Structure 1
């Protein structure tokens, strides 16, 4: 049995008045009352895993590895003008985003999407390298479509810059 100290007086003896499970079944809300000072408060219980878990495409689940993520990103940025600090910042941003989510199990496709978004802003060639592996392009046409999308967005960005220069 878990004890919950009263946040008002610090007494260890509190009793549960009401218990309610959340709609998704992932947490429990408990109304408690201190047996010494009668202070009432609410506590929440939710499962906590030791670490973030990643559900792979084949359905298997493994622990999230920032080092594995770093290796994939470093492979994509190899021989590009991307600094070690940029890679570290990217890994930390993705991990932080994943940790801030409600769930401890995330899909590998979510991890790939988050890396892709950020990598595209850092280096477009590295982005193309990464998504070609992450999305497992099997046909040259898939690669060309992604490349065209990057080139189109680059042209759109330069057009809007040119127009703002003229105003």
Structure 2
């Protein structure tokens, strides 16, 4: 594992333990060159999945992008990081167990929307504003009204 501080190629594992939800291994490492300590996470990857973008481009699935999208939607909502990590892990598992080597970015967006709907209504609306490409304030109003009505029903 390359050191994030000095880019040295070798580091020594000082401690390993499962993460809180058991979906990853947390490793504390120390660089053999500069002595800096850092943490890495090791996760199971069931298969290589390619994302097909709306313009036809293809790129490998990156969990980090999924985590960032969820984090942006949930910013300042006071949700524990463990819940966001569980949501990302659940979506990743759904993607990997579909049995397909390719999935559209639209389908991933739908999975994120589905997960956020049950987690936080404000985060759900925030994500929807980007995913559904709201063009004006009326789009927000209409969507928020639908979410509010669904919450009462």
User: Deviation digits for residues 63-93 of structure 1, max 9, x if unmatched?
Assistant: 1111011001101101002110011000000
Task: Find out whether 1:87 has 2:84 as its counterpart.
Answer: yes
RMSD over aligned CA atoms reads 1.0
Q: Which has the higher contact order (CA 8 A, sep 6+)?
A: 2
TM-score normalized by the length of structure 1: 0.62
Aligned residues: 107
Task: Find out whether 1:154 has 2:151 as its counterpart.
Answer: yes
Residue 69 of structure 1: SS of its match in structure 2? helix
Report what 2:51 is aligned to: 54
TM-score normalized by the length of structure 2: 0.67
Q: Which runs of 5+ in 2 are unaligned?
A: 1-46
> Separation in 1 of the partners of 2:143 and 2:60?
30
User: Deviation digits for residues 90-139 of structure 1, max 9, x if unmatched?
Assistant: 00000100111121100001000000011110000011001101111112
After TM superposition, where is structure 1 displaced by more than 6 Å over at least 4 residues in a row?
none
Residue 56 of structure 2: SS of its match in structure 1? coil
Greater gyration radius: 1
Q: Which runs of 5+ in 1 are unaligned?
A: 1-49, 157-167
